[in-house]
Structure 1
Amino acid sequence: MKNTLRALLFLLIIGLGQSAMALPAPPTIPGRVVLKLRPGQTPAVLEAALNALSAHGLQPKFPHTQAPSAERPGSVDLRGIYQVELPATVPLDRARTVLLGTGAVEYVEPLYIRQPLYQPNDPRADSTLTSLTASQFYLKQIRAYRAWDVTRGDSSIVIGITDGGVRLTHEDLRQQIKHNYADPVNGRDDDGDGYVDNFTGWDLANNDNDCGYDINIIHGSLVAGVAAARTDNGLGIAGLGNRCRFLPLNIYPNTPTGSFAGYEAIVYAADHGCQVINMSWGAPGGYSRFEQDAITYAAVNRDAVVVAAAGNTSADILFYPASYDHVLSVSGVSSTDQKSPAATFNHRVDMVAPGLSILTTQGYHTVSAGGVADADYVAVGGTSFAAPLAAAAAALVRWRFPQLTAAQVMARLRQTTDNIDGLPANAAWAGRLGTGRLNVLRALTASPKEARVIASTFLPARPAYAPGDTLRLAVDVQNLLQPVAGLTVTLTSLSPYVTVRQGSFAMGNMATLARATNFTAPFRLAVAASGIPLNTTATLRYRITDTGGFQYDQFVDLLLNPDYVVLDANDLVLSLTSRGNLAFDNLAGTVGMGLSYRTSGNILSEGGLLLATSPTRVSDRLRTSGGQSRQSFFSLRQATRQQPGPRADQEARVAFQDTIPVAGSRVRSVGVAVRQRAYAWAMPGRRDFVVLEYSLKNLTADTLKPLYAGIFTDWDLPNPDGAARNAAAYDTARALGYCYALGGPAGTTPPVAYAGIRLLRGGTPAVYSIDGGAPAGSPIRLADGFSVAEKFLALSSGTARAQRTAGLPDGADVSQVVGTRLARLAPGDSTTVAFAVLAAPTLAQLQASADAAATVYGAVLPTRPAALPAGFSVYPNPATGLLRVELTAGLGLRELLLCNALGQVVRQQAASGTAAALDLAGLAPGLYVLRAQGTGGILTQNVVLR
């Protein structure tokens, strides 16, 4: 018998009652990530990046899995998924950006720990009806006895029980286990599947062949009994699966080296012949592409019916794995078909099954109360025990209809339920309990229909949509069961903030397994221009009907009005948050669209505003230590975008501030309110930069002297041979700090080689380049966090750390702070600083864009044109040919210069007296800046050429 670490994992997920946005991510396995290589890539391309992370143990996650097949559209390739061990000092976001920066990786994710969903059988949980605990009432409720008259299944149909260990010697379980006779226990891998002696299932969590009983977790025994307890043996209970067998797969650790392995168990079950896989575990939130890949492999590549418990949250939330694609999500009801008090409800629930007072095998006591060994039973509650009822029903359907695919089996189960939405007790959850309660008899005897949307594609594809956006929605529809006539999909918005402008798709007649798409004429939608609360989830309903009376509803969600805006008018796409960050609002890089240039993908893992006035008074929302970020700034006004704006093709406005320091408090903030404006242009010559302007107001009663302000950037410019090969430098003439990608092998060119920040307006420039691989004892060492004192040092060191490059000669993960020193800011006073965010293929282009940004900021952005000296006239403006310049007597002209948007001089002409004419012939239409050198100084005026 194994000793245990599992007890800590045996948590209850009940009564959360929270919105999905507020739910924390599930816990993760420390020091380990999974990544997926892009097609055609090999692990060799990761060598430099892994070395930079001091990572080790790169190994394929599923080396023996089946390749995707053209005969199974949508099948997934798990052979490109690898597991990597990371040092404890390397945070997940660092690993993600370095590995993604190679350009060879699709995703990098943590491994989530998903919890079993056991709900205790006690009065306080209100999950036990004492009058029912001594019998299997639920078998009559779901018409099991009549269903067994149709079929009792067969031992060749195997249900994979991915769960805690199972009491293998229990009287009602021991004869139901599916053994692998191709690999008897002899110390050899006889069947060549990579597992030695996997005769009786496998312990995926601890990587051994003992998936048996653990006294601290009996959940696996409880679930197995519901699905597959032995029938007709004159003992105990009858599992719904009757003659069907089960494969025990342990997913919870009980050794120091073990770890949660729910998704590894899914793949194992799929590869070892399980036609049905049950998952009575999970957690709210924490969407994972790795987890979805594992499920897709089982459901599509291996054609397994994947069933999951919807969770015991008593909330309308997404719960994983139940809410993933290709999963039959099962919630719970009582003996009267009323929703179980703690059961999750949402539009992703497919159906419900009894989930209260479920009598099953306990597998806890060696000797029962009657003195019989391995003969204990208990009544339990939770969606953990509704799911195996659906899984067992799927097993019976698979035996009865062997020609059906896994998707068709799920469709039969959905379309043969007893509708319970009409019960008064369920009125509050109507439409969010799936199609109804499981009816096994109907699943085995009826001839249902189900056409279903199997894929939804939003165009443009974004994680969220802003007020005023318009979008299209293409769907892929498949008829899974009986032929249908006159099939139509009608799209309706259930949100007041989304309008469906074109929402009908007629497919006509469809044979079984036929597919259709409206990709050439997609649905059209519009997001409301105003009044949308932050981070609103809008639900759209597909209503699928035919002329014979079939009707089926499906739902799809989209996120509206996120707490960030995206400027995408030009080649540099940038997310701005409502609290001063650039690219993303969190260290995980999931809130925001990042910063990309042309087709580069994200190149900024973290960025944001830094303010400071002393080594102990610093304000920011950047990383600190322990994988956390500081939370100095709070939003005063949501980030908004205007398109077009009065001065640019796109403009954004943000307002936030930090807390005001109080004497004697431990608050280490500065006490400044910030109004941020951002500008982006679509015209040639302005497509490589975004201008950021910050108005800073002193909210304290003291003069801030000095006040430092700057932008921190952790650039990750992709290299052909590893993301860590970056360096940072400083252009003194332009107050331009930049990062660049070092070249890869001969003949390779990075997709974007240069990116940086230029100070456009403010006091004395400050630039600090940071080498991410700096050793212990360095003035700034990001490997162990970014402290308040280090942030102050980066802002206040002037250009002392800017004249030499960081990251050379071999390249490193580099960061920079580009800022300014403002001598003083009196109480109540305001000042303005401005920066340009830039990217370009070459240094020369980066410098030209930096010059253009300076010109544009100086000439275009002032709210009011500078007051011109009396008698200074430039006309006609807009101009078409000759431009006349006149000054009053006494000022005297010497020279005229005309500059384009890049700051380049395109006309130069000597002048004298008080008037001159400048020929504009041959110049392209656009905005120019005229500089008139006179005896009294330089006068400037914007000129528009038509």
Structure 2
Amino acid sequence: MENMLRSLLFIVLLALGWTATAAASGPPTVPGRFALKLKPGRKPAALEAALRTLTATDVQQKFPHTLPPNIEKPGSVDLRGIYQFQVPTTVSLARIRTVLLATGAVDYVEPLYIRYPEHQPNDPLADSTLTSLSKSQYYLKQIKAYRAWDITRGDSSIVIGITDGGVRLTHEDLRRQIKYNYADPINGLDDDGDGYVDNFCGWDLANNDNDPGYDIKITHGSLVAGVAAAQADNGVGIAGAGNKCRFLPLNIYTNTPNGNFAGIEAVVYAADHNCKVINMSWGSPGGFSQLEQDAMTYAAVNRDAVLVAAAGNTNADLMFYPASYEHVLSVSGVSSTDQKSPNATFSHRVDLVAPGLSILTTQGYHAKTSGGPAESDYIAVGGTSFAAPLVAAAAALVRWKSPLLSASQVAAQLRQTADKVDTLPANAAWKNLMGAGRLNMFRALTEPSHEARVVTSTFVPARAVYLAGDTVRLSVAVQNLLQPIAGLTVTLTSLSPYISIKQGTFTVGNLASLAVLNNARAPFRLAVASNGIPLNTTATLRYQLTGDDGYASEQLVELVLNPDYVVLDANDLHVTVTSRGKLAFDDLSGTIGAGVSYRGSSNILSEGGLLLAAGPTRVSDRLRTRLGAARESFFNSTQVVLRQSGPRADQEARALFQDTIPGAGSLARSVGVSVRQRAYAWAAPGRRDFVVLEYTLKNLTADTLKPLYAGLFMDWEIPTPDGSARNAAAWDDARAMGYCYAMGQQNTPSLPAIYAGVQVLRGGSPTAYSIDNNATLGSAMCLADGFSTAEKFRALSSGTAQSNAGPPNGTDVSQVIGARVSTLAPGDSTIVAFAMLSAPTLLQLQDAAESATIAYATTLLPTRASARPVDFVAYPNPTDGPLQVALPQNFGPATVQVLDVTGRLVKTLTATGNKFETSLAGLQPGMYLVRVIGASRVMTRSVMLR
């Protein structure tokens, strides 16, 4: 059954242009479809120019009928500022985020994820020969449903929203359980004024029509609906656990070319249409989405709906969404003996478990007799998809019996009355990873319970990741959701060897029902280990809540340690440097890293990184390639580390990585070098607008690299006042600097102007290639279909002939700024160095370039022996004025510049031959830089004038 379901779903998704990705890379997304959320108080008009830049179409408010936040409901959210739009599939998420976030009007930008039904394969013969319906529904006894129905059977006022595939609306056990909307009969009118025409029996959110019924032979919705709400006492079939409670069918899977997966839309619809409980038997590992979290918060907090979701069928300890979102009850599965189901997800985010194997339910697919209607068929199925609706049904009955309980209180009641099962010998491997226990409906309806819960965790400093040696304060807010608790204490412990707790006790005392207390005045204190932390480690902390009357519960919270990137932030230009040559972000989606910013701006570099080439096919990088993927040529030998107050700079980052040694002949697809990367930043005045990046390249092959090209690819995104991101790229030959700026920008307090660029400081003949990212297919350089190795080589090896792009109207631009190393013998090394620069004006950018040249020449070069023989001499040094200059043989005509320590040009002359004399007499004593600019090389030497 499961194989058929997934095959059909995959065929449909594939036909619509959707492609699945591996769980490790997150869930698949709808191609070209994105959502954004406006910051409070900002209007959509603020985005019009930026959306035009992205050629966005079909821009529409995603949730126009939702309620505003309620000040009486702390934590409620506003969904009215969320908009969705379509862009060409060639536009990257990184660019979309950069352009829209640069407007200052956008809170977040995200793709729209596709989540799958959580229906696990099962051998239906285990139950197919049974004739007793009561025995077939063993799970009703296991969860004490029969005893619960003696307390209450609910009624039609409690509605469970079934957000799932289409439902067989005419099935004998379902047709009388649907919550019909008699305020909007089918007559072509929106009689109830809710924005949906003829939504008499639910809605098809995926295809935007009023038929949520069975389609494309995906029976999952019928299966889930039957578990929760099949009609009881009608003399046929089965009894849903919710007994007399009704359900609202909401289809989320598309069956039209223009449809889209609509899970979160269905959740919001259900919340807005009085569903007291909402079931989500779908999801996927990973892929956290703030948009999805906002939708869950809206439904649970703004609308007070109990949210229940399948924890997934992964048999792994992982985050599974939407089950792992805040405000969602995550339900995993067990067998008839309460042993964890073989394929059920287990994690600290699981709230409770319920039976999930051989669950007999309505099918709505096969006819009972040949040629008869598919209205009376049943099947035994398995998976957390069918554990979740059992919990949803229990929540519905608790809501009917205790109507004054809020959604969070109902969830607490279900957790605290569950039967503990992770103490069973068969579940020893999953202790503390199966939630509070197995659902017990009878206890949920009859037992007074206690539950205090940590509702907020605030880390200071607030960071996405923490570094070795960091100290952190953690304040928590604790709320009592149920009966009063006396003598409540919260104790923080670390389950990670890389976090130590310095102060871990919060004595709450007596806490009344719904009361909230925090430890902001005396927060927990913790310390990150100073060394030995593996890369990108997730550390887990445990809250243990105990009371005088024996109450005990626990929660877990996580934080990420030792990321595979560092941020140089000593000056006004903040730059993320990774372990494998990338800049700004280590991934194309712009989530691993802190980007590049200048003087508090939003991110101005959507993608950047080192690019090496020894031929059209021998290219090494980790930059974009075709079909939205990235090359992975480099692998790190050591992790990037950040040293504060180093001997040469206020901050110094170091990393070591390499590519693979290429195969012979036509098999050569890499360059074959190791790279020792250093990055430097200074806080001193005059050095606050640049960061120096230095790469020592060693030839690992048996062949001479002749020539070797090394450069930086920089996809700049400089914001403009109108949000259009109309940029231009240019080349400053005198300073060997490529730079980017926004057309029409002005230096205003609301949006300071920004110029950004890269300067070649050392390494060989400068190269510069400016790219129009919007160039059409067939152009000499076109990124619309990706960035091929041949294009990367062309960008590095074309000199400076194509060094400008953008004017007169501006466009989306990138630059490759590099250096040509004429030869690199086997085993030899060479140094290539660049400065990343930013400033409010072009003149200030030029000054920054001069300052960077001096900083590199005077601070970094003298500390290490040169990688090549000295071939440019200026002497005597120090001098009282006269200066002899000797250039390499056959250097050719050259321009000689003398610059002071601020980068200001104080003297220019023309070289006559490879030896000549000049004088610094008349200048103020101090340090000067002598720069020689030839046809293919730029050389510098520092000179002290006494």
TM-score greater than 0.5 by the shorter chain = yes
The question of whether the paired residues in 1 share the 8 Å contact of 2:173 and 2:230 is answered with yes
How many Å separate the matches in 1 of 2:128 and 2:25? Answer: 29
| CA deviation after TM superposition for structure 1 residue 296, in Å | 1.1
Change in Cα spacing, 1:887 to 1:845, as seen in structure 2 (3 Å) is: closer
Shift of 1:750: 2.7
CA distance in 2, matches of 1:787, 1:887: 50
Alpha-carbon distance between aligned partners in 1 of 2:321 and 2:332, rounded to the nearest angstrom? 13
Partner residue of 1:854? 853
Cα deviation for residue 163 of structure 1 reads 0.6
Provide the rounded CA distance (Å) in 2 between the counterparts of 1:938 and 1:621: 34
What's the counterpart of residue 223 of structure 2?
A: 222
- 1:205 is matched with which residue? 206
In the TM superposition, 1:755-794 aligns within 5 A as 755-794=756-795
Contact in 2 for aligned 1:332/1:386 (Cα 8 Å):
yes
Measured against aligned partners, the alpha-carbon deviations of 1:5-41 in whole angstroms (never above 9, x if no partner) come to 98532699xxxxxxx9971221111221111122222
Matches within 5 A, 1:591-740: 591-740=592-741
Deviation at 1:809, TM superposition (A): 2.2
Q: Which residue of 2 aligns with 1:102?
A: 103
Match of 1:923 in 2: none
The residue aligned with 2:161 is 160
Deviations 1:207-235 (A, max 9, x none): 11111123621111111111111112222
Letter in 2 for 1:551: A
SS across alignment from 1:784 = coil
Please state how far the C-alpha of 1:268 moved relative to its aligned partner.
0.6
Q: Which amino acid aligns with 2:643?
A: Q
Q: Could you say what secondary structure the match of 2:534 adopts?
A: coil
Counterpart residue number, 2:891: none
State how far apart, in whole Å, the 2-side matches of 1:939 and 1:322 are: 62
Residues 746, 753 of structure 2: 8 Å contact kept: no
Aligned residues of 2:745 and 2:753 also touching (Cα < 8 A): no
Is the CA contact (8 Å cut-off) linking 1:10 and 1:116 kept in structure 2?
Answer: no
Q: Which residue of 2 aligns with 1:874?
A: none
Residue in structure 1 matched with residue 844 of structure 2 by the alignment: 845
Please give the alpha-carbon distance, in whole angstroms, between the structure 2 residues aligned to 1:129 and 1:282.
Answer: 32
Deviation at 1:689, TM superposition (A): 1.9
The answer to which of 668-677 and 726-735 deviates more is 726-735
**1:29–1:111 Cα contact (<8 Å) kept:** yes
**C-alpha deviation, 1:317, in angstroms:** 0.8
CA contact (8 A) 2:606 2:717 kept: yes
Q: Which residue of 2 aligns with 1:454?
A: 455
Unaligned runs of 5+ in 2: 13-20, 867-874, 885-896, 907-920, 932-939
Matched, 1:135 2:125: no
User: Higher mean Cα deviation, 175-184 or 128-137?
Assistant: 128-137
Q: Distance in 1 between matches of 2:491 and 2:332?
A: 27
Q: 1:474 touches 1:519 (CA, 8 Å); kept in 2?
A: yes
State the alpha-carbon separation in 1 of the partners of residues 114 and 930 from structure 2: 68
Give the Cα separation in 1 of the matches to 2:396 and 2:640: 52
Describe the superposition over 1:800-845 as per-residue Cα deviations: whole angstroms up to 9, x where unpaired: 223xx42222221111111111121111111001111122222233
Verify the 8 A CA contact 2:281 2:309 in the aligned structure 1: yes
Paired position in structure 2 for 1:321: 322
Rate the CA distance shift 1:287–1:652 in 2: closer, same or farther, 3 A: same
Question: For residue 442 of structure 2, what is the aligned residue in structure 1?
Answer: 441
1:131 CA drift (Å): 11
SS of 1:783's partner is coil
Q: Which moved more, 1:45-54 or 1:111-120?
A: 45-54
The answer to whether the 8 Å contact 2:747/2:840 transfers is no
Amino acid at match of 1:579: R
Q: TM-score, normalised by structure 1?
A: 0.89
Name the counterpart of 2:516.
Answer: 515
Cα deviation per residue 1:842-881 (whole Å; 9 max; x = unaligned)?
Answer: 22332222222222211222363789xxxxxxxxxxxxxx
Q: 1:409 to 1:892 in 2, by over 3 A?
A: closer
SS at match of 2:325: coil
What SS does structure 1 have at the residue aligned with 2:860?
coil
Aligned to 2:54: 53
Amino acid across the alignment from 2:490: V
Instruction: Give how far 1:748 is off.
Output: 7.1
Identity of aligned residues (%): 68
Change (3 A) 1:294 1:901: farther
The CA deviation at 1:340 is 0.7
Residue identity opposite 2:858 in structure 1: A
Superposition deviation, residue 466 in structure 1: 2.3
1:919 & 1:101 partners in 2: Cα distance?
44
Taking the aligned partners of 2:106 and 2:330, their CA distance within structure 1 comes to: 31
Aligned to 2:547: 546
Checking the alignment, whether the CA contact within 8 Å between 1:331 and 1:349 is kept in structure 2 is yes
Distance (Å, rounded) in 1 between the aligned partners of 2:110 and 2:639: 30
- 8 Å CA contact 2:23–2:285 kept in 1: the answer is no
Instruction: Please tell me whether the aligned partners of residues 752 and 839 of structure 1 are also in contact (alpha carbons under 8 angstroms).
Output: no
- With over 3 angstroms needed to count, the CA separation of the structure-2 counterparts of 1:22 and 1:222, relative to structure 1, is closer
Cα deviation for residue 390 of structure 1 reads: 0.6
Q: CA deviation at 1:274?
A: 0.3
Q: Secondary structure at the match of 1:777?
A: coil
Whether the 8 Å CA contact 1:893–1:932 is kept in 2: the answer is: no
Matched, 1:8 2:8: yes
CA gap 1:128/1:534 in 2 versus in 1, 3 angstroms:
farther
C-alpha distance after superposition, 1:350-372 (max 9, x if no partner): 11111111111122223359988
Cα 1:127–1:503 shift into 2, 3 Å: farther
Q: How many residues align?
A: 891
Structure 2 CA distance for partners of 1:655 and 1:228, relative to 1, 3 Å: same
Letter in 2 for 1:577: T
1:195 and 1:475 map into 2 onto residues whose CA distance is: 42
Closer/same/farther in 2, CA of residues 206 and 830 from structure 1, 3 Å limit? same
Question: Is residue 350–residue 434 contact of structure 1 (8 Å, CA) maintained in 2?
Answer: yes
Which position in structure 2 is the counterpart of 1:910? none
Number of the residue aligned with 1:873: none
Residue of structure 2 equivalent to 1:88: 89
- The amino acid of 1:99's aligned partner reads L
Alpha-carbon distance between aligned partners in 2 of 1:550 and 1:128, rounded to the nearest angstrom: 44
Contact 1:357 1:380 in 2 (8 A): yes
Distance in 2 between the 1:221 and 1:212 partners?
9
User: Cα distance, 1:730 vs. partner?
Assistant: 2.1
Tell me how far apart the structure 1 counterparts of residues 736 and 158 of structure 2 sit (CA, whole Å).
71
**For the residues of structure 1 that align with 2:151 and 2:522, how far apart are their CA atoms?**
45
Deviation for aligned residue 1:677? 0.7
The residue matched to 2:349 in structure 1 has which SS?
coil
Kindly provide the amino acid, as one letter, of the partner of residue 70 in structure 1: I
**SS of residue paired to 1:861:** helix
Query: What displacement does 1:265 show?
Result: 0.5
User: Can you list the C-alpha shifts for 1:402-438, whole angstroms capped at 9, x where unaligned?
Assistant: 1111111111111111111210011100001111111
Q: Where does residue 279 of structure 1 map in the other structure? A: 280
Contact 2:51–2:724 (Cα < 8 Å) also in 1: no
SS of 2:496 mapped into structure 1? coil
Q: Is the aligned partner of 1:184 residue 2:185? A: yes
Match of 2:801 in 1: 800
Q: Partners in 1 of 2:447 and 2:898 — Cα distance?
A: 82
SS in 1 for 2:667: coil
Paired residue type of 1:353: A
CA distances 1:865-916 after superposition (whole Å, capped 9, x unpaired): 789xxxxxxxxxxxxxxxxxx999x98665999998644699xxxxxxxxx9
Q: Using a 3 Å threshold, how does the CA distance of structure 1 residues 938 and 483 change in structure 2: closer, same or farther?
A: closer
Could you say what secondary structure the match of 1:795 adopts?
helix
CA contact (8 A) 1:128 1:380 kept: no
Q: Does the alignment pair 1:400 with 2:401?
A: yes
Residues 758-813 of structure 1 deviation map (CA, whole Å, 9 limit, x = unaligned):
111121111222222224433212222222222122212222223xx422222211
Q: Which moved more, 1:202-211 or 1:894-903?
A: 894-903
**Alpha-carbon spacing, 1:437–1:784, altered in 2? closer, same or farther (3 Å):** same
CA distance in 1, matches of 2:272, 2:351: 25
- 2:916 maps to none
2:123 aligned partner: 122
The one-letter amino acid of 2:809's match is D
Residues 747 and 753, structure 2, Cα contact 8 Å, conserved in 1? no
The one-letter code matched in structure 1 to 2:633 is: S
Q: Secondary structure at the match of 2:863?
A: coil
Indicate how the Cα distance of structure 1 residues 279 and 846 shifts in structure 2: closer, same or farther if over 3 A, else same.
Answer: same
Residue 339 of structure 2 aligns with an amino acid whose one-letter code is Q
Judged with a 3 Å threshold, the aligned counterparts in structure 2 of structure 1 residues 599 and 887 are, in CA distance, closer, same or farther, namely closer
CA pair 892-683 structure 1, distance change in 2 beyond 3 A: closer
CA 1:650–1:658 in 2, change beyond 3 Å: closer, same or farther?
A: same
Stretches of structure 1 that go unaligned for 5 or more consecutive residues are 13-19, 868-885, 907-915, 921-927
- Say if 1:11 and 1:116, in contact at 8 Å, map to a contact too: no
Q: Which residue of 1 aligns with 2:809?
A: 810
8 Å CA contact 2:849–2:903 kept in 1: the answer is no
